């Protein structure tokens, strides 16, 4: 992969109205469920990023006729639960852990086998967390040492239903088991120890499949479905991705004089940890024009500049903001006082070790950021980011987070290995520059 370098000029204010790309989690699931539904599903607002396109291409390789995307519009001619065909080649998931983990659940219930591979970053991400429950259900899966990709999934049309308690709060593992449960004989249930994004459950219901969710206590939920049903084609309007909006929410919060509206953002309550945490830090955020689109709550997010303060982040909010912590660390660096994050060891097994990589990046620009086993301690306040060359380790969220850090910098920041930004946020630089950041990209 070629090295794309971002160069961020210091300072600036963030103004205007923008719409960020479609939600990646919902885009993935729209292709998956539309493909195994009966009838033709239409999708608008689809994220045309490399991760979502990897999912789309995988289902085309398994015999599903998919038209688009064109301007975010996709048409999927579903083949039903049992209509997928053995692909003629290895399915390349690129940089997408969501694609690999969720697709494993679907392929586990097929009569054929498939090999799932990915790029260098994905090949370092743990897959044992989906291998274990799928093996309990009767699938046979081969992997590299320690459960790393590539995965060879030998499906079975005789999967066993299981009652599975997640060892960690993970929407991807939950979704993998539920999708395999569609093909299992009997009732499959998953107990999650803390809330995680519930797009799979919501979308299954949108396709007419019965899924029940029962609260067990203040945090735990049991999700249950019966195998052997059918999904009926529907229309999906994908809201804008709150994970992408997060970069601009932090940018408008920390840059003096900022006033920004981010339109049509999904505010699913399992995804709004970023809003809750920023508000605890003193951010000026209001939700305008709330509405529901295709079973998902949506609103326009209005953010004005505010003086942020350091906080101890409540652990119950961690799973609800797990993808947003790189840019939340930037918010912490601009806040008065100390911000403490604990309970976020999951960050160490994302596209990069986001605890260590963000600590290294912030330290490189002169911020006091101390990594811990399960989080970070960031001293905010008077320090201003200095000029530095940042290594993003091909992690798109590191690249974008450190771009936002440039708003408080006193000298240019260079960020290496930014090509993967296109996996989740096409046109990121163009949109950033349109609202007041100063970013250029060059091939290094």
Tokens in use for 352? 């990069």
Q: Which DSSP symbol is given to 256?
A: T
Residues in a beta bridge with 8? 413, 439
Cα distance between residue 265 and residue 297, in whole Å: 8
The three state secondary structure string of 84-136 is CCCCCCCEECCCCHHHHHHHHHHHCCCCCEEEEECCCCHHHCCCHHHHHHHHH
CA terminus-to-terminus distance, the chain: 11
**Parallel, antiparallel, or unpaired: how do β-strands 259-266 and 235-237 relate?**
unpaired
Q: How far is CA 215 from the centre of its chain?
A: 24
What does the chain come to in residues?
444
Phi (first) and psi of residue 194, to 5 degrees: -150, 160
CA distance 29 to 50: 15
| Per-position DSSP letters for 29-44, written without gaps between them | HHHHHHHHSEEEEEEE
User: Which are the contacts of 327, defined by CB distance < 8 A and separation ≥ 6?
Assistant: 246, 247, 250, 397, 400, 401, 404
Could you tell me the CA-to-CA distances from 131 to 26, 101, 139, 187, 226 in Å, in that order?
A: 23, 9, 9, 20, 21
Rg (CA), the chain: 21
Q: Which residues are catalytic?
A: 323
Alpha helices in 140-272 (DSSP H): 171-181, 199-206, 242-254
CA 163-166-170 angle, to 5 degrees, is: 130
Is residue 25 within 8 A of residue 197, CB to CB? The reply is yes
């Amino acid at each position: 992969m070629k090295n794309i370098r971002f160069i961020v000029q210091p300072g600036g204010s963030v103004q205007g109205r923008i719409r960020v790309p479609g939600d990646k989690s919902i885009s993935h699931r729209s292709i998956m469920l539309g493909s195994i539904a009966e009838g033709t599903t239409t999708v608008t607002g689809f994220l045309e990023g490399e991760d979502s396109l990897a999912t789309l291409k995988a289902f085309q390789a398994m015999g599903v006729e998919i038209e688009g995307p064109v301007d975010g519009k996709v048409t999927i001619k579903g083949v039903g639960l049992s209509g997928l065909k053995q692909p003629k080649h290895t399915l390349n998931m690129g940089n997408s852990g969501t694609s690999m983990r969720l697709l494993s659940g679907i392929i586990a219930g097929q009569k054929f086998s498939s090999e799932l591979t990915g790029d260098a970053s994905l090949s370092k991400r743990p897959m044992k967390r989906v291998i274990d429950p799928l093996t309990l259900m009767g699938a046979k899966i081969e992997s590299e040492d320690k459960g790393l990709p590539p995965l060879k999934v030998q499906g079975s049309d005789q999967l066993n239903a299981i009652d599975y308690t997640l060892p960690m709060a993970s929407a991807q593992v939950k979704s993998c088991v539920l999708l395999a449960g569609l093909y299992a004989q009997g009732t499959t249930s998953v107990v999650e120890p803390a809330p995680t994004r519930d797009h799979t459950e919501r979308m299954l219901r949108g396709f007419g499949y019965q899924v029940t969710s029962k609260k067990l206590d203040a945090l735990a939920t049991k999700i249950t479905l019966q195998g052997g049903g059918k999904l009926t084609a529907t229309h999906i309007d994908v809201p804008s991705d709150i994970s992408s909006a997060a970069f601009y929410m932090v940018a408008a919060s920390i840059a003096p004089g900022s006033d920004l509206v981010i339109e049509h953002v999904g505010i699913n309550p399992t995804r709004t940890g970023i809003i809750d945490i920023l508000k605890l830090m003193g951010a000026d955020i209001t939700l305008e024009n709330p509405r529901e689109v295709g079973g998902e709550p949506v609103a326009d997010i209005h953010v004005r500049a505010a003086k942020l303060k350091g906080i101890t982040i409540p652990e119950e909010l961690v799973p609800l903001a797990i993808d947003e912590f790189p840019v939340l660390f930037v918010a912490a660096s601009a806040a008065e006082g100390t911000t403490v994050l604990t309970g976020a060891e999951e960050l160490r097994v994302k596209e990069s070790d986001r605890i260590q990589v963000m600590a290294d990046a912030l330290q490189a620009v002169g911020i006091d950021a101390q990594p811990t086993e399960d989080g970070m301690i960031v001293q905010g306040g008077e320090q201003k980011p200095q000029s530095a060359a940042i290594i993003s380790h091909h992690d798109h969220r590191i690249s974008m987070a450190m771009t936002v850090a440039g708003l408080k910098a006193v000298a240019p920041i260079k960020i290496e290995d930014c090509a993967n930004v296109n996996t989740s946020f096409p046109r990121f630089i163009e949109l950033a520059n349109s609202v007041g950041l100063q970013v250029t990209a060059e091939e290094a």
